[in-house]
Structure 1
Amino acid sequence: MLARVVAVLAVALAAILAGHRLLPALGGVTPVLESGLPWLGVAIVPMVALAAVARSRGAVVAALAPALVWAVMFGPSVLRRPPGGPSDFTVATLNVGVSNEMSGEAVQAAAAGRDVVAVQELTPGGPAAKELSTIYPHRFQVGTVGLWSKYRLDDAKRIDVGLGWARALRAVVRTGKGDVTVYVMHLASARPGETSFRDKTLKEAGEVIAKDKSRRLVLLGDLNTATTDRNRGNLVPPLRDAQEEAGAGFGFTWPSGFPITRPDHILYRGMDATLAEVREATGSDHRAAIADLRF
């Protein structure tokens, strides 16, 4: 009996991992499940142990099936190493935390060595904005999102991605080696049973990016969608993900104490990523995502 239960559960887990995009959305429950998809692999260990206890070769083989599926899906992320090499443009993004009294220290960590820094959940005139303005000569802020740069910013404007108010921006960064169009976005939140509004903003963001014909483009921000979320297909492709191209591991950024998913993203086109990492940020419930890009 135990062997049969283990076999059924193992086959079901393998099917969920391999075919998660075929599952119905269930009112937004499935997309949230997808946000933690790699963690389903934790269930494989007790399944193998129970199969061993049952002394059933068939149960052991069945229990190894989801392990194989997991390895195919996520093994490359675990084994990947940054390509390294020279870079032309270094970026960071951080949701600093609206109630973070140490946001000035948080952005210091994110900004270290970066050409541009994108920040979300800013308090206008708060510690994070003040600290970044002492580091960078150029900035553009729209409500609770902002962009700070060592290079001149031109054509800066606010963007509405379906929230009903502007919580996104666009600016052209005039680097010494060429222009880069940078978007900073903070999309709607996603919770079990409550993803429709987030999905709408993802779609709007994809449409905004699709209309932009800039040769080099970077999207930075808290997109409230994980790498494994089915709805991220509005953005990737056509954009590429710096963590998937040049980061070791999953690059989880939330929650900061023990990250289990990655809502914070660095997406780009017209360049190559040479490095992607995650940094701790004092007082924030997010970690900062950083990347080095080569023209």
Structure 2
Amino acid sequence: MHIPVVVGALALTALLLGHGLIPSGIGTWVDALLPWSGLALIPLAVLALVLKSGRGAISLLVPLVVLALLFGRDLVPLPSGPVDLRVATQNLDADNPAQCKALQALSEADLLAAQEVTAQCGLDYPHHFAVGTVALWSRYPITDSARLDLDLGWYRALRATVNAPHGPVTVFVAHLGSVRPGATEDRDRSLRRLAELARAQSGPVLVLGDLNTASTDREMALFQGFQDARSGFGFTWPAAFPVVRLDHVLYRGLTPGSATTSAANGSDHRAAVAGFTTSGQLAPRAGTAPVTR
């Protein structure tokens, strides 16, 4: 009577360990929903209870251990630390009539990045740079800036050098193309280009924006040496009941002191918010996740 439960446990374990072998396309969607795969343990546990299967119940420990190894750190909140650079990013939703309200709600950030910007809001920031529908507002001087070609067919990304309290920080803001079932090539190509540009920079680097790429997506391994500043899973989309993190605060050469998500204010994405200290070099902390899985 234990066979159905054992088979289910083995199938879940195989998915957790072998999801990267699933071809891109469907594999991208599997990657995105991987953190939710642990919910399969609930019906399996109920089945083991109904069947009074001790062996079946014991077999569930295998996928449980694998889940703990893969996602245990995501259940640990980011310890608070000193912050001298506050950062926020949000996809505002082009059709959102409350874009200015959404931006004002994030205006405590020293660096505010936004995507799908269509409104003129007159924010109280001394420095601003925009390319198409992506924008960066800064309380610190922007000493260099450029629009980026990520092979999207349009310009929806920028790079800026910000003179932060302890020295320059290179900031990328991007909005990558959406992933469609069976069609990830365009997103993958632009993500690869963005990662190449970010890795090529020296000194502290931030990559902000809606990358349309889940934290667990295999392509996030392109950002070798970067971390994703989040506390817990930090899901941002859809705003009403977030199930995946598409909006990222990737960093290198900075030390995170806080991370959260905040209200959508009319958008279909929640904002990703983080705080850093810019003095010293990167010091990995519990609760920050490398962008490899």
Does the alignment reach a TM-score above 0.5?
yes
CA distance in 2 between counterparts of 1:169 and 1:224 reads 16
User: Counterpart in 2 of 1:265?
Assistant: 248
CA distance in 1 between counterparts of 2:189 and 2:271 reads 25
Stretches (4+) displaced over 3 A: none
User: Counterpart in 1 of 2:285?
Assistant: none
| Cα drift, residue 170 of structure 1 | 0.7
User: Counterpart in 2 of 1:250?
Assistant: 233
Instruction: Give the alignment's TM-score, normalised by structure 1.
Output: 0.90
User: Counterpart in 1 of 2:267?
Assistant: 284
- Does the 8 A contact of 2:84 with 2:165 survive in 1? no
Deviations 1:53-110 (A, max 9, x none): 11122211223322221122112211x2222222121100000001101111111222
Map of 1:72-111 to 2, 5 A cutoff? 72-78=69-75, 80-111=76-107
Map of 1:200-239 to 2, 5 A cutoff? 200-213=189-202, 215-235=203-223, 237-239=224-226
User: Counterpart in 2 of 1:37?
Assistant: 34
Instruction: Pick the structure with more helix per residue.
Output: 1
Structure 1 residues 176 and 76: CA distance shift in structure 2, 3 A: closer
2:62 maps to a residue whose letter is A
User: Counterpart in 2 of 1:6?
Assistant: 5
User: Which consecutive unaligned segments of at least 5 residues does structure 2 have?
Assistant: 279-293
RMSD across aligned positions (CA): 1.3
| Cα drift, residue 176 of structure 1 | 3.4
User: Counterpart in 1 of 2:127?
Assistant: 138
Instruction: Give the alignment's TM-score, normalised by structure 2.
Output: 0.91
Identity %: 44
Aligned with residue 122 of structure 1, among 117, 122, 135? 117
Aligned with residue 192 of structure 1, among 181, 193, 200? 181
- Does the 8 A contact of 1:13 with 1:66 survive in 2? yes
CA distance in 1 between counterparts of 2:244 and 2:276 reads 23
CA distance in 1 between counterparts of 2:277 and 2:150 reads 28
Number of residues of Structure 1 aligned to a counterpart in Structure 2: 278
- Does the 8 A contact of 1:173 with 1:181 survive in 2? yes
Map of 1:12-27 to 2, 5 A cutoff? 12-21=11-20, 23-25=21-23, 27=24
Counterpart secondary structure, 2:106: helix
1:257 maps to a residue whose letter is A
- Does the 8 A contact of 1:253 with 1:261 survive in 2? yes
- Does the 8 A contact of 1:157 with 1:170 survive in 2? yes
CA distance in 1 between counterparts of 2:45 and 2:79 reads 35
1:114 maps to a residue whose letter is A
CA distance in 1 between counterparts of 2:225 and 2:165 reads 26
- Does the 8 A contact of 1:32 with 1:191 survive in 2? no
CA distance in 2 between counterparts of 1:187 and 1:267 reads 15
Counterpart secondary structure, 2:144: strand
User: Counterpart in 2 of 1:53?
Assistant: 50
| Correspondence 1:69 to 2:66 | yes
